Structure 1
Amino acid sequence: MSGSSEVNLKQTLRKIEYPLCAQEALKKIGELLCSRTTNIKSMDLSLDLMAEFVFWEVDRRGNKRPHPLTPLAELELIEILFEYLSNIPNEATRNTLFLNLFSPITANIRLGVLSKLVSLAVGIPNSNILVCASTWMQQLGNTSISSCKLAESIVFDYIHLATKPEERLKTLPEIAPPFVANLLTAVAENYYVTKKDRKYPPDVLLSCITNWISENSTLCMAAQLRQAALPPGAIAMEATTPIAGLLKWCVLAPIYRQDQEIYSKLYLALLNSISEIPKSNPPRAINVQHLTAIVTPLVQYFRDLKSRDESKNLIITDVPLQLALDRFGQAIQIALSVNAVYGNLDELFNSLQNLPFNKLLSIVINRYNQNKVTVIIV
């Protein structure tokens, strides 16, 4: 597009009231980004159109607008985005537009619109937009700050505000399993994080997640089992599964005195999911570093016990600690049995040496060491 054509396009759009100008701008953005002759100039123009006419962030001179969109205008924009994206039949085209509208550079300032758009897609539900959101989370990183904020917003809308959330969300894994898998990974990052002001997942959320995974043993792997349709030349980012993050909840729940019944159910559902991972050509299901991260709070709890009692009696007889270690040891062994753990295993087992004695965990450690010796001898 020539310079004069760009000027004419912008002048034409400026004559249209908001949000109708956003509707027209989106059509042009789609042409620019999905054309066979897309170039840097087209990309730059599409970014300009988004900032000025879609998200109302800058004025005609490129200066930041002093006043953001009003709640009503934002609602109208979300409706326009929803209709526009929903009616694009080609998945790669939808993802291309979605990833550009909410790029890593602009994701933070547009997160409010994005969260409301995805929340609307969850409620209706709309699989087209949920697939876009899943691809977005995966490409930005489903444990990234932006993905975690999106997950927090969805939880707030449907767990804290909605009535009967379990009924409303029951079929979501059937509609968009990769989205749910990526959502679970981000949700897992939002709880059991720091010692100060530690947050625990609400019971309704725990129940919902437990039911999802219990009824669909492949759900945690869904984002890895389906390749997202990306723009030409884009590099697909590997999805982190929610297994390690949710295991962290189950392992640490006893030492933080959380209700054990629901965590026991979630834990069993996770073990079943891990055990059904195919042994031949297994996916990259659990990162060693994510398992190793669970060791640190266990060690801290152990040290706190030790500081209160110099003898080992309190540590050996501490039921919450031993339950946590039992769960951790069992999960590690099952994950290793299906070859679902990837990374430097020595790093994990070296860190396990810092934990107090636990019969099951010691068996797992000894078996690993014996297998290492056998491999070296052979």
Structure 2
Amino acid sequence: MSAASEVNLKQTLRKLEFPLCAKEALNKIGELICGRITSIKNMDLALDLMSEFIFCEVDRRGNKRSSPLSALLELQLLEILFEHFNGLTNEAARNTVFLSLFSGTTALQRAGILSKLVSLAIGIPSPAILTSASTWMQQLGCTSAHSCKLAQAIVHDYFHLVPSAADRMKILPDVAPQFTANFLTAVAENYFNSKKKDQPYPSESLLQTITQWISQNAHLCIAAQQKQAALPPGAIAMEATTAIAGLIRWCTLAPMYEQDSQLYSHLHLALLNSILEIPHTTPPKAICAQHLATSLRFILLYSNKTGKQSNLQLALDRFAQAVQVALSTKCVYGKIDDLIHQLQQLPFNKLMSIVINTHKECK
């Protein structure tokens, strides 16, 4: 597109009131970045259109606006975005526009609109938007700060703000299994994690929902690894990180932190069954050894205090069971020998010592 055409396009859009200008800008952005031939110039223009006409972050001269969208304008934008993405039948094109609108460089700035859009897509529901959100999480990293913040916002909306709305979450795996899997990975990162100081443990309703999901669908945790993300030609799809290691951490650490809900026992069993159902791949990709090892420092810290030995032994039993099942099904990747070496640093546990010796004998 020539410089004159760019100017004419922007002048035309400036004559339209919001949200009509946003609607027209979205259509133009799709043409610019989803065509067979794209260019840096087209991408730069698309980014300009997003900033000025969709999110109203800058004025016509490119200067940053001091005030964000009002609540009414934000609601109108959400309606436009919802209709636009549901109207795009080409998944690769939809994902391309979605990723561009909420790219890593602007994710924090637009996080509020993104979380509201995804929450809306859960409530309506919209498999199309949830699929694009799932791709977004994978491309940025399911355990990244951006994905964790999105997961936190969804948990707030459906489990804290309006607790009765939690029922809408029960059908989520049927509506969007890939999104649910990536959501689980991010949620797992948000709890039983020393980096999160506020509300370090999941609520009973969230724990119950997750336990129910995995108990009813043994393949849910690996769902995002079963389907390749649809991206434009030349783009590299990032491999999804499963929630298994993170949720194993929950079950392992729960006794040490006096989280005595029976749901942790049920979740632990569901996870073991899920691991047993993981199909063999070469190389394995379901559970990262380094992710499994994140529980170790918490266990060592606890053992150095005057914590209950019974709680410590229960934690070690659960961790040993999970490690053994994961190793026996050959679904662990990464530095397995380092993991075994770290396990040897833990306080004595009969089951763990058997797991360590069994691994050494099988080598």
Q: Runs of 5+ in structure 2 lacking a partner?
A: none
1:303-322 aligned within 5 A: 303-305=304-306, 318-322=309-313
Question: TM-score under structure 1 normalisation?
Answer: 0.93
Question: TM-score under structure 2 normalisation?
Answer: 0.97
1:311 matched to which residue of 2? Answer: none
1:244 aligns with 2:235: no
**CA shift at 1:163, angstroms?**
3.9
**CA shift at 1:264, angstroms?**
0.3
CA contact (8 A) 1:119 1:154 kept: yes
**CA shift at 1:110, angstroms?**
0.6
1:362 aligns with 2:363: no
Q: Specify the code of the residue in structure 2 equivalent to 1:69.
A: L
SS in 2 for 1:233: coil
1:8 aligns with 2:8: yes
1:335 aligns with 2:355: no
Aligned-partner Cα distance in 2 for 1:170–1:290:
27
Aligned-partner Cα distance in 2 for 1:3–1:282:
49
2:28 matched to which residue of 1? Answer: 28
1:170 matched to which residue of 2? Answer: 170
1:39 matched to which residue of 2? Answer: 39
**CA shift at 1:164, angstroms?**
2.9
1:352 matched to which residue of 2? Answer: 343
Aligned-partner Cα distance in 2 for 1:153–1:220:
21
**CA shift at 1:161, angstroms?**
2.0
Aligned-partner Cα distance in 1 for 2:199–2:290:
21
CA contact (8 A) 1:182 1:223 kept: yes
Larger Rg: 1
1:150 matched to which residue of 2? Answer: 150
**CA shift at 1:165, angstroms?**
3.9
CA distance 1:292–1:338, change in 2 (3 Å): same
> What is the alpha-carbon root mean square deviation over aligned residues?
1.3
Q: Specify the code of the residue in structure 2 equivalent to 1:30.
A: G
1:148-297 aligned within 5 A: 148-194=148-194, 199-279=200-280, 281=282, 283-297=284-298
**CA shift at 1:274, angstroms?**
0.3
CA contact (8 A) 1:254 1:260 kept: no
Q: Specify the code of the residue in structure 1 equivalent to 2:268.
A: Y
SS in 1 for 2:113: helix
1:376 matched to which residue of 2? Answer: none
**CA shift at 1:280, angstroms?**
5.6
**CA shift at 1:166, angstroms?**
4.2
CA contact (8 A) 1:118 1:133 kept: yes
1:94 matched to which residue of 2? Answer: 94
CA contact (8 A) 1:282 1:339 kept: no
Aligned-partner Cα distance in 1 for 2:198–2:170:
30
Aligned-partner Cα distance in 1 for 2:169–2:305:
40
Aligned-partner Cα distance in 1 for 2:86–2:329:
39
SS in 2 for 1:231: coil
CA contact (8 A) 1:131 1:178 kept: yes
**CA shift at 1:197, angstroms?**
5.0
**CA shift at 1:349, angstroms?**
1.0
* 1:264-322, Cα deviation, whole Å (9 max, x unpaired): 011110000001112464741110101111100000111113xx8xxxxx7xxx11000
Aligned-partner Cα distance in 2 for 1:20–1:66:
22
Aligned-partner Cα distance in 1 for 2:186–2:280:
26
CA contact (8 A) 2:248 2:271 kept: yes
CA contact (8 A) 1:121 1:127 kept: yes
**CA shift at 1:73, angstroms?**
0.4
CA distance 1:173–1:282, change in 2 (3 Å): farther
SS in 2 for 1:277: coil
Aligned-partner Cα distance in 2 for 1:135–1:198:
28
Aligned-partner Cα distance in 2 for 1:288–1:325:
17
Aligned-partner Cα distance in 1 for 2:22–2:52:
9
* 1:333-355, Cα deviation, whole Å (9 max, x unpaired): 00011101111111111111211
2:65 matched to which residue of 1? Answer: 65
CA contact (8 A) 1:131 1:179 kept: yes
Aligned-partner Cα distance in 1 for 2:133–2:357:
44
Q: Specify the code of the residue in structure 2 equivalent to 1:325.
A: L
1:375 matched to which residue of 2? Answer: none
**CA shift at 1:119, angstroms?**
0.5
Aligned-partner Cα distance in 2 for 1:211–1:330:
21
Q: Which sits farther off after the overlay, 247-256 or 350-359?
A: 350-359
CA contact (8 A) 1:177 1:222 kept: yes
**CA shift at 1:38, angstroms?**
1.5
* 1:9-59, Cα deviation, whole Å (9 max, x unpaired): 111111111111111111111111111221111111111000000100001
CA contact (8 A) 2:284 2:333 kept: no
Aligned-partner Cα distance in 1 for 2:208–2:199:
20
Aligned residues: 362
Aligned-partner Cα distance in 1 for 2:95–2:245:
28
* 1:94-140, Cα deviation, whole Å (9 max, x unpaired): 00100101111111101111000000000011000000000000000
